[in-house]
Amino acid sequence: MKTILHKADTRGHANHGWLNSYHTFSFANYHDPERMNFGVLRVLNDDEVAEGMGFGTHGHSNMEIISIPLEGDLEHKDSMGNTTVIKQGDIQVMSAGSGIQHSEKNKNSDQKVKFLQIWVLPNEVNVTPRYGQISLKESDLTNQFFQILSPNADDTGVWIHQDAWFHLGHFDKGQSTTYSLKNGSNGLYIFVLEGEIAVGGTRLARRDGLGVWETDKIEFTFLENSKVLLMEVPMAN
């Protein structure tokens, strides 16, 4: 088993006033040739947007874009005619494909919005752009890793054009579990949203990330009440 550790305080950081963002991988003005990606996982941004502010209309193509709200309400508009609001417990996905324009804005004028912005390189280019959104129940996530994304439109969660699976779990202190990879040639990127966990002999705290590959399963122990996101992705596109 091979691993790569990204501690929270080693991430890139940009504070634009309206946007406070931490970058696990190279993004915008943060560039580290050793931190370009983990397999096809290209972007993992931990964003906080000020009250009433947001990203103006801009374009993407040939990227799978996943948003996971952590706090507050995020308003989405796109060139496909979608206008939605996502909040904690929702998962949003866009297949940018042949091209899409969208905006994301903090809908509230009295509180910040916090969310993860994740980009995955697709396994098929120039597909028809697509939008999807689901809502999770807290009971789905309690003391288990619940699938929130897969390559299959008929499977649990949202889906993308890539051989990838995401799981999210909220675990009580003292719990333990094992994750078995869906595809043995994939890698797993572990991102701790809250709490403290142990993965093998590695301890991870809030906002730490750990990439693991060349293994078929990973064992977890939860040292505190914890929220953890798992991103299983191909290591080569």
Whether residue 37 is predicted with pLDDT greater than 70 in this model: the reply is yes
User: 140 by DSSP, 3-state: which?
Assistant: helix
Q: What is the pLDDT of residue 136?
A: 97
**Torsion sign over Cα 176, 182, 184, 188:** negative
Per-residue pLDDT, averaged over 90-103, amounts to 96
Q: Are 99 and 129 in contact (CB under 8 A)?
A: yes
Q: What is the pLDDT of residue 236?
A: 85
CATH topology for 11-135 is Jelly Rolls (2.60.120)
162-184 pLDDT, tens digit each? 999 999 999 999 999 999 999 99
In the DSSP assignment, the letter for residue 27 is B
Q: What is the pLDDT of residue 200?
A: 87
Model confidence at 112, pLDDT cuts 50, 70, 90, reads very high
User: 9 by DSSP, 3-state: which?
Assistant: helix
Per-residue pLDDT, averaged over 71-96, amounts to 95
Q: What is the pLDDT of residue 237?
A: 65
CA distance 215 to 235: 12
Q: Where are the domains of the chain?
A: 11-135, 138-234
179-217 pLDDT, tens digit each? 999 999 999 999 999 999 999 889 999 999 999 999 999
Same fold, 11-135 and 138-234: yes
User: 141 by DSSP, 3-state: which?
Assistant: helix
User: 53 by DSSP, 3-state: which?
Assistant: coil
Per-residue pLDDT, averaged over 69-94, amounts to 95
CATH of the domain spanning 138-234: 2.60.120.10
Q: What is the pLDDT of residue 176?
A: 97
Model confidence at 86, pLDDT cuts 50, 70, 90, reads very high
